[in-house]
Structure 1
């Protein structure tokens, strides 16, 4: 949001594209849908008021434009990643955090808050489809807070029905500084979300060398480029095939890890700062030249 009642020039950054998505509102309750509509209204006013709008991805900009809002000028400025925290960890470090603290050995990882559009259930169904096809000791691990209790109960019921309580683990909220150990230790990092403005955990996982499997949708393809293996996020069978394909190809896993680390290098907070500063300077310069 930007100040709506001021003559000062405004620059607004849109971090949340949920209000502009046609898929996010599906399965949401009445209160959440009202919240999204209110957020869309206020965000739209902010965009109209601002001189420049900063988006974290091209996808975010396109979604806002599709809603019919007239954007005077926009810039895409990617987020960065803290490279002092997010880098590949060694075996001893991973064992200390993953094995001793969380009891994890071989696992597939997804880091995200639990919301319906994040497609947790589709990933769970895909994992169950792999029964007997992959190592039975491999677990599916989720890290993130729950923001949709009803959706969580649906997942819980499906897991119990298929007797996968010991195979599918919900860690809840994991301390930020412990995430690099999970990213580094996972067999693969799977990201089936259907609505994102950027996908911060994707970049964190890449920086730690995790082999990435992601939705064949923007902005995932924009952010990961050729450093990920893509799948149809609404098709559990397609997700299962993607996971099975990569898990059985050890050479490919190694190549994907290297590509992920290389791709992560373009995302730095230094670049974010410099590009944001350029936007702010251009607005102040125009303000000085205005009659």
Structure 2
């Protein structure tokens, strides 16, 4: 059985898509399976090596000037050329070709909450529902997102759930004074305690309410570090960031490498993620794996991911966010309790398990 894995985002692509496919492919290269995997990569990356090479896993290449066009029109030629039985597509599948098609769709937030997307993004995603009709089944990333599929009557196809894992870089680090750590702390002007947010800087992630909560904290020494790229609809942040009471204590780092991020996580005191809507919510999982108490929204997929290891808040209430942070700042026993709960909860997720679950689904469905 020959399985093609759409991995065009392995080297370059949207941050979440790249993270998913890179980890899946790396684990597939280590796994024992009856299946023969073909990793479909971007043609312009032919001279680059996978993190984990395996002679049993073949690499093939395709044009990827546009992911939608590549999936619909070019990947079927690859499937035919290598006689692939199945292709696991990232997002949109093709309506062409005799091979079985699996749609790996991260979320449908663009339908349920269109206000968080630009007009062009919504136009780009518009064909997704039609194209999904040509899939054999669908994979998404949480039971919460599966419910969204069903509530929107998006597809009548079977929907499987594969939770994300987290990169092994994100772990509890006891020694915090090594050279790399010190350099990053110095460059970002980090003090001993800071609250951390990681993710895109946009309306859906609810940064204004996080800043309002931060303004109201009694602790006027602690800093707030925002790690991520500033995106569409963030103009309302400027007035909040210019507030003299917090302007010198809020640091926007922009995008950072995973190596830098692991150090930023490990030095954080509290992680706060008051997002309005998530399909999975990887940053809270990375924070928990790093041994940080987390404060997250009580909506969408976040309770599914964080379990009993988080303090939950109403994302629309800055005072509630501030109160949760204050509880952790003022109560050492509570802080240590959630620190330990974070570490234990993170153990429930791994890319090794995710990949094995994918292989089990494929073997059960297709290997006779």
TM-score by length of 2: 0.71
- How far 1:47 moved relative to its partner? 2.7
Structure 1 residue corresponding to 2:149, chosen from 64, 69, 72 = 64
- How far 1:33 moved relative to its partner? 2.7
The CA distance in 1 between the partners of 2:152 and 2:302, in whole Å, is 21
**1:111 and 2:195 are equivalent in the alignment:** no
Matches within 5 A, 1:246-261: 246-261=328-343
Structure 2 counterpart of 1:230: 312
Higher helix share: 1
Structure 1 counterpart of 2:231: 147
Matches within 5 A, 1:1-291: 1-22=92-113, 24-25=114-115, 32-39=118-125, 41-83=126-168, 85-89=169-173, 90-93=175-178, 95-105=181-191, 106-130=193-217, 133-134=218-219, 136-148=220-232, 150-151=233-234, 153-285=235-367
CA contact (8 A) 2:184 2:260 kept: no
Q: How many residues align?
A: 274
Structure 2 residue runs without a partner (length 5+):
1-91
Deviations 1:149-170 (A, max 9, x none): x41x321222214442101111
The CA distance in 2 between the partners of 1:65 and 1:97, in whole Å, is 48
The CA distance in 2 between the partners of 1:284 and 1:3, in whole Å, is 20
Deviations 1:52-106 (A, max 9, x none): 21111011111122222233211111111122x1111222148514422311012
Structure 1 residue runs without a partner (length 5+):
none
Deviations 1:189-216 (A, max 9, x none): 0011111111111111111101111000
Q: Tell me, what secondary structure is at the counterpart of 1:7? A: coil
Greater CA drift, 11-20 or 184-193:
11-20
The CA distance in 2 between the partners of 1:112 and 1:238, in whole Å, is 21
Q: Tell me, what secondary structure is at the counterpart of 1:16? A: coil
Moved over 6 A (4+): none
Higher strand share: 2
Of structures 1 and 2, the one with the larger relative CO (CA 8 A, separation 6+) is 1
